[in-house]
Structure 1
Amino acid sequence: MKKTLIFGGLLLSAVLTYAQANISPAKPQSKQIIITGATIHIGNGQVINNGYIAFDKGKITAVGEGAAPNAAGAEIINAAGKQVYPGFICPVTTLGLIEVEGGAKGTVDDEDTGDLNPNLRAIVAYNTDSKVIPTVRSNGILLAQPTPNGGTISGQSSVVQLDAWNWEDAAYKTDIAVHLTWPAAGGGGRRRGPVVAVPGAESPDEARIKSLDAINNLFAQVKAYSEAAPSIVNLKLDAMKGLFNGTKKLFIIADGAKEIIEAVTFSSKWGVQAVIVGGKESYLVTSVLKAHNVPVIIRETQTLPARDEDDVYLPYKLPKILQDAGVLYGLTGIGFWRQRNLPFEAGQAVGYGLTKEQALSMITINNAKILGIDKTTGTLETGKDANLFISEGDALDMITLRVDNAFIQGRNINLDNLHKQLYKKYADKYSLKTD
Structure 2
Amino acid sequence: MLLKNGYLHTGNGDIIASAAIGIKNGTIVLLKNSLAYSHSVSDWDTIIDLKGKHVYPGFVAANSTLGLTEIDAVRATRDFHETGIYNPHVRSQIAYNVESEVIRTVRSNGVLLCQPTPRGGVISGTSSIMAMDGWNWEDATILANDGVHINWPNSTQRMADNRAIQEKSKDYGTQKQELYSFFEAASSYASTKKPEKDLRYEAMTDCFREKKRVYFHADDLQQLNDIIDFVQYFKLSAPVIVGGYDAALVARKLKDAKIAVMLYRPHSLPKREEEAVNQPYSTAFKLQEEGVLFCIQNEGDMEAMNARNLPFLAGTAHAYGLTEEQAIAAVSLNACKIIGIDKKYGSIETGKSATLFVSDGNALDMRTNNVTFALIDGKIVDLGNKQKDLYIKYKQKYQQGIK
TM-score normalised to the size of structure 1?
0.87
Task: Describe how 1:134-213 pairs up with structure 2 within 5 A.
Answer: 134-186=104-156, 193=164, 204-205=169-170, 207-213=171-177
Asked if the contact 2:2/2:44 (under 8 Å) is kept, the reply is no
- Which residue does the alignment assign to 2:251? 286
The separation in 2 between residues aligned to 1:77 and 1:262, in whole angstroms, is 53
Matched to 1:409, the amino acid is D
Q: 1:116 aligns to what SS in structure 2?
A: coil
Q: 2:156 aligns to what SS in structure 1?
A: coil
Cα deviation for residue 250 of structure 1 reads 0.7
2:364 matched to 1:396? yes
Task: Describe how 1:208-287 pairs up with structure 2 within 5 A.
Answer: 208-273=172-237, 274-287=239-252
- Which residue does the alignment assign to 1:46? 14
Is 64-73 or 164-173 further displaced after alignment?
64-73
The separation in 1 between residues aligned to 2:359 and 2:133, in whole angstroms, is 19
Q: CA RMSD in A?
A: 1.7
The alignment of Structure 1 onto Structure 2 pairs a total of residues equal to 391
The separation in 1 between residues aligned to 2:102 and 2:307, in whole angstroms, is 10
Asked if the contact 2:87/2:125 (under 8 Å) is kept, the reply is yes
2:54 matched to 1:95? no
Q: 1:258 aligns to what SS in structure 2?
A: helix
Tell me the alpha carbon deviations over residues 296-338 of structure 1, each in whole angstroms, 9 at most, x when there is no partner: 1112101111211011101110110000001011011132010
Asked if the contact 1:280/1:305 (under 8 Å) is kept, the reply is no
Is 56-65 or 213-222 further displaced after alignment?
213-222
Cα deviation for residue 381 of structure 1 reads 0.5
Match of 1:423 among 367, 386, 391: 391
Cα deviation for residue 98 of structure 1 reads 1.0
The separation in 2 between residues aligned to 1:114 and 1:208, in whole angstroms, is 19
Cα deviation for residue 229 of structure 1 reads 2.9
- Which residue does the alignment assign to 2:81? 111
Identity of aligned residues (%): 38
Q: Cα gap change, 1:233/1:192 in structure 2, threshold over 3 Å: closer, same or farther?
A: farther
Q: 2:326 aligns to what SS in structure 1?
A: helix
Asked if the contact 1:329/1:366 (under 8 Å) is kept, the reply is yes
Task: Describe how 1:294-333 pairs up with structure 2 within 5 A.
Answer: 294-333=259-298
Asked if the contact 1:377/1:384 (under 8 Å) is kept, the reply is yes
Q: 1:175 aligns to what SS in structure 2?
A: strand
Structure 1 alignment gaps of length 5 or more? 1-32, 197-202
TM-score normalised to the size of structure 2?
0.94
Asked if the contact 1:188/1:307 (under 8 Å) is kept, the reply is no
- Which residue does the alignment assign to 1:369? 337
Q: Cα gap change, 1:192/1:227 in structure 2, threshold over 3 Å: closer, same or farther?
A: farther
Cα deviation for residue 60 of structure 1 reads 0.4
